[in-house]
Chain A
Amino acid sequence: MNRPAHWDECDSIEFVSFMAGGQSFCIEITQIREIRRWTPVTALPHADKAVLGVINLRGMVIPIVDLAEQLGLGTSEASMRHVVIVVAIGTQTVGLLVDSVSEILAVPVDTICEAPPMSKGVDSDCIIGLVSVEEDMSRVLALDAVLPRALEEVA
């Protein structure tokens, strides 16, 4: 599948898990630049619905993507309780709006399951693996797949 190559070289991977659209997701910790509180954005004309706008991150203008909307889990009503995870995707820096950040997980590589092929309504391209967290399950996000279309054109 589309597992990152470096997974095979490590014993365990560290993830940051978070909630978006009521589901648990996680992103490899090395891809995360910082986590910050939601701040009002400047809307962009002609942007995808999932692109909320841009913010100033210490002099850099970065777009903020509503992750739930992008994954088809409904629109987030952004508020001060929301959190922005700033991630690096290739050369781009993008902020992902999520409900809340949960914890840091160290997951042995051999326990990361492949996402099984799924029926309609689930964009399995966005999920590169599944991680069991106690009773629950967290979905490992493929960051490049969650980029909205306008962003991809640049990448």
Chain B
Amino acid sequence: MSADNLKALFFVECEELLEALGEGLQSMESGDADSETLHSIFRAVHSIKGTAGAFGFNTLVTFTHHFETVLDLIRSDQMGVDAEAMRLLFRASDILSDLVELAREGDGGRPDAMDSVLESLIEISRNHGEEGAAAPAPPALEEVEAEPLAFEPLAFDPTSLEALAVDGALRYHLRFDPGPDFFRNGHDFDRLVLELEKMGTVTCAADPAAMPALDGFDPELCHLAWDIEIETEATEAEILDAFMFLEEFCKVTELTGDAGGGLPGLPPLPDPGPVAEEAAKPDPVPVAAAPADPAPGPAPDPAPAAKPARAAEEKAAPPAATGTVAPKQPMLRVDPERVDRLINTVGELIINQAVISQRIVEAGFDTNSDLMGDLDDFQHLAREIQEGVMAIRAQPVKPLFQRMQRIVRETVDQLGKDVQLVTEGENTEVDKTLVERLADPLTHMIRNAVDHGIEKPEIRSRAGKPERGTIRLTAAHRSGHVQIEIADDGAGVNRPRVFEKAVENGLIPADAKLTDSEIDNLLFMPGFSTAAEVTNLSGRGVGMDVVKTSISALGGRVAISSRPGKGTIFTISMPLTLAVMDGMVVHICGETMVVPLASIVETIRPKAKDVKSIGRDGRLLFIRGTYVPIVSLSAMLGLSRSGEEAEGGVFVLVRSEQDDLVALAVDDISDQRQVVIKSLEGNYGAIPGISAATILGDGRVALIIDTEAILSQVRRVGPDAGQQKETFYEQASALG
């Protein structure tokens, strides 16, 4: 494994640890933290420090060190946690994630706010009498006495001796002398041994020869060396692999002679201390410069290792941190590219399956034949594989939601408001890409909610609301979609103000008659900014229209509903995946196209008497007592100049997010099927009215209709917009 791979792994791990940290802090704040929570918070920071040290991210190490010291004070009840401290912990965790981000980018810089937070952390540890700094600690005599067993050299053999003498196994002697900085750099002897144990039988003994006398003793340094004997089939290089980054400190000698004999058969060890193998000989006095007491015993003590130098390390990094990684379920780390490749291949499989189905149907097999039955099975299996593969990419929205906590914190700090973010459904899983691409729109909406939604505390209390505003961020699966809701309990949309502003910006005529919901939807218009007072948070000219555009680009919809005085709810509804969707195959002017099934209400073959003309070339469809505008897709997409459909055409009724109903006129419909979405933008570009392409059973490309874009165009220019297609094109490309 190369250093780059390891680094990548470190950052992945950091993400998880930061997530755990954020989660832990959250529950600390809400007061339902137990000691396990505190431990996990501590462990997260400690683990980051450990690995960061191995990679030489010094700023990160320094910062985590002080962060950890404060956390330790809290954990050991030496320090109480008030709101002030809580805020500091949150800020520290924000800075920690910034630092990790900077380290990932290979930028050695430090976040602006780091110094002040670091100072506060050091301040706290100083006030609590801990040596916060990494400066060499004074020789703390009483501490050593308090732990008289700390330096007891112990030999231990975690596996039984009977396991010796494996065929083909060789015995190696390893002299491992890591030098004083071993623990400071975040290493852990236990893990090395565990690693070695995977290769074979390990026996090891600590060599305290270099242990200084008490008055020169620095608990943060490593004074020990180890002699390790391993019987393994692994090669020398493989053994050294276990000592990643520490190879230089490890000397491997192959031992010859009979392997089965165990310890006495050892040739003399190369090191000065005659500590080949030792039974645990209790030696309560810390061993000074004197050589270790040679007490060769035939069998090493199988007692649990009283990791000698460990205790010294754990003066700073206390007992709970036995493993440097928080315990978690075994997870598989896979390069996302491999998953993407798999997804692509499965996509091909689905297309191929469609091709075969079509061929078989064309070949005229009886629908009751066995072959058709098998074909159905094939189709099911293909779909199942595909769902399975998609599930690999699925990720909980939790990290995203945690980022929003931070956004709220920062925004609140700047605005002097009091807002809490309550999240629900954090474990809802969504495609990884969606999670990533939701971050920006969501950030914007959360900021908006704090900035414009929630009122200032004094206004809230005057209105009889609790001073602290609440924003609820929820995620849930709804019939094949993910629904994300951002609800605030603020003032609601100030409709008169929005109306006024829209008139001011020339978006609507001053005498326009709009319903409440229409006014609310003005917020999504390009160039609309509600901020009565422009803050530096929102009101930068990018408004909700950008949010809407980016969510639409993901195949999602965003809707608003607001009640004056009660609050505003934004609802984002997204497909679970970007790769596949259900669609209806339609034919327009000889072209085959796909209409997303999600937006289709029904299809209808109209009677001539139900189609009414209106205006010069507008047409309406009369259906169940209402009139629905008819849109000619061929004219809309510029496929035919006339906008005339073939006789006996079919209408596909689609409903928009705003509940508008429109009848799309097409020549014919063939069937509905699952289609694999292929982007057009990679090799071509965005086409107004078309969201993507797919490949049909015959191998031809079919375009997927962007119903929402079509509908929003209809709203703008009225039904049967064939004549306005130029305007449509311009407006749509301005949006894209």
B residues 684-714 in Cβ contact with A at 8 Å: 684-690, 693, 695, 699-703
* C-alpha spacing A125/B347, complex, angstroms: 40
B49 within 8 A of A: no
Contact A54 B680 (CB under 8 A): yes
Of all A-B residue pairs in the complex, the 9 with the closest CB atoms, nearest first, are: A45-B637, A42-B701, A63-B684, A154-B685, A61-B678, A61-B693, A56-B695, A150-B685, A92-B683
28 pairs, A vs B, C-beta closer than 8 Å? A40-B700, A41-B701, A42-B700, A44-B690, A45-B639, A47-B687, A53-B701, A54-B680, A54-B693, A59-B344, A59-B347, A59-B351, A60-B683, A61-B680, A61-B693, A61-B695, A62-B684, A63-B684, A91-B682, A92-B682, A92-B683, A92-B684, A93-B683, A94-B683, A153-B686, A154-B681, A154-B682, A154-B685
Instruction: Decide: A44 near B703, CB < 8 A? Known: A54-B693, A59-B351, A61-B695.
Output: yes
Most B Cβ at <10 Å: residue of A43, A51, A92: A43
Contact B699 A56 (CB under 8 A): yes
Which residue from chain A places its CB closest to the CB of B725 in the assembled complex? A46
Number of interface residues of A (CB under 8 A): 26
Contact B591 A43 (CB under 8 A): yes
* C-alpha spacing A43/B690, complex, angstroms: 12
Contact A42 B683 (CB under 8 A): no
A55 within 8 A of B: yes
Residues of A within 8 A of B684 (CB): 44, 51, 54, 61-63, 92, 150-151, 154
Most A Cβ at <10 Å: residue of B684, B685, B688, B701: B684
Most B Cβ at <10 Å: residue of A61, A151, A153: A61
Contact B729 A46 (CB under 8 A): yes
Contact B701 A153 (CB under 8 A): no
A residues 64-106 in Cβ contact with B at 8 Å: 91-94
B119 within 8 A of A: no
Residues of B within 8 A of A (CB): 344, 347-348, 351, 591-592, 637-639, 678-690, 693, 695, 699-703, 729
Which residue from chain B places its CB closest to the CB of A150 in the assembled complex? B685
Contact A151 B685 (CB under 8 A): yes
Which residue from chain B places its CB closest to the CB of A88 in the assembled complex? B683
- Shortest CB-to-CB span from B697 to chain A, Å, is 11
Most B Cβ at <10 Å: residue of A45, A47, A59, A94: A45
Residues of A within 8 A of B681 (CB): 154
* C-alpha spacing A151/B683, complex, angstroms: 7
- Shortest CB-to-CB span from B640 to chain A, Å, is 11
Contact A45 B638 (CB under 8 A): yes
Most A Cβ at <10 Å: residue of B685, B695, B729: B685
Contact B703 A46 (CB under 8 A): no
Residues of B within 8 A of A153 (CB): 685-686
Which residue from chain B places its CB closest to the CB of A55 in the assembled complex? B701
Which residue from chain A places its CB closest to the CB of B684 in the assembled complex? A63
* C-alpha spacing A151/B351, complex, angstroms: 26
* C-alpha spacing A93/B681, complex, angstroms: 11
Which residue from chain A places its CB closest to the CB of B728 in the assembled complex? A46
- Shortest CB-to-CB span from B409 to chain A, Å, is 38
Contact A45 B690 (CB under 8 A): yes
Contact A61 B685 (CB under 8 A): no
* C-alpha spacing A59/B695, complex, angstroms: 7
Residues of A within 8 A of B351 (CB): 59
- Shortest CB-to-CB span from A19 to chain B, Å, is 25
- Shortest CB-to-CB span from A132 to chain B, Å, is 34
* C-alpha spacing A53/B680, complex, angstroms: 11
Contact B687 A61 (CB under 8 A): no
* C-alpha spacing A43/B703, complex, angstroms: 9
- Shortest CB-to-CB span from A7 to chain B, Å, is 27
- Shortest CB-to-CB span from B177 to chain A, Å, is 51
Which residue from chain A places its CB closest to the CB of B589 in the assembled complex? A43
* C-alpha spacing A51/B693, complex, angstroms: 16
* C-alpha spacing A56/B699, complex, angstroms: 7
Instruction: Decide: A56 near B701, CB < 8 A? Known: A46-B637, A61-B695.
Output: yes
* C-alpha spacing A41/B351, complex, angstroms: 18
Residues of B within 8 A of A45 (CB): 637-639, 687-690, 703
Residues of A within 8 A of B682 (CB): 91-92, 154
From B678, B699, B702, give the contact of A60 (CB < 8 A): B678
- Shortest CB-to-CB span from B376 to chain A, Å, is 24
Residues of A within 8 A of B699 (CB): 56
Which residue from chain B places its CB closest to the CB of A91 in the assembled complex? B682
New A-B pairs, 4, CB < 8 Å, besides A42-B591, A46-B638: A56-B701, A59-B351, A153-B686, A154-B682
Residues of B within 8 A of A61 (CB): 678-680, 683-684, 693, 695, 701
Which residue from chain B places its CB closest to the CB of A93 in the assembled complex? B683
* C-alpha spacing A43/B590, complex, angstroms: 10
Residues of A within 8 A of B637 (CB): 45-46
* C-alpha spacing A94/B684, complex, angstroms: 8
* C-alpha spacing A104/B10, complex, angstroms: 50
Which residue from chain B places its CB closest to the CB of A43 in the assembled complex? B591
- Shortest CB-to-CB span from B310 to chain A, Å, is 52
A residues 10-58 in Cβ contact with B at 8 Å: 40-47, 51, 53-56
- Shortest CB-to-CB span from A125 to chain B, Å, is 20
Residues of A within 8 A of B679 (CB): 61
Contact B687 A46 (CB under 8 A): yes
* C-alpha spacing A150/B693, complex, angstroms: 16
- Shortest CB-to-CB span from A81 to chain B, Å, is 21
* C-alpha spacing A151/B700, complex, angstroms: 21
Which residue from chain A places its CB closest to the CB of B351 in the assembled complex? A59
Residues of A within 8 A of B344 (CB): 59
Residues of B within 8 A of A40 (CB): 700
Which residue from chain A places its CB closest to the CB of B732 in the assembled complex? A46
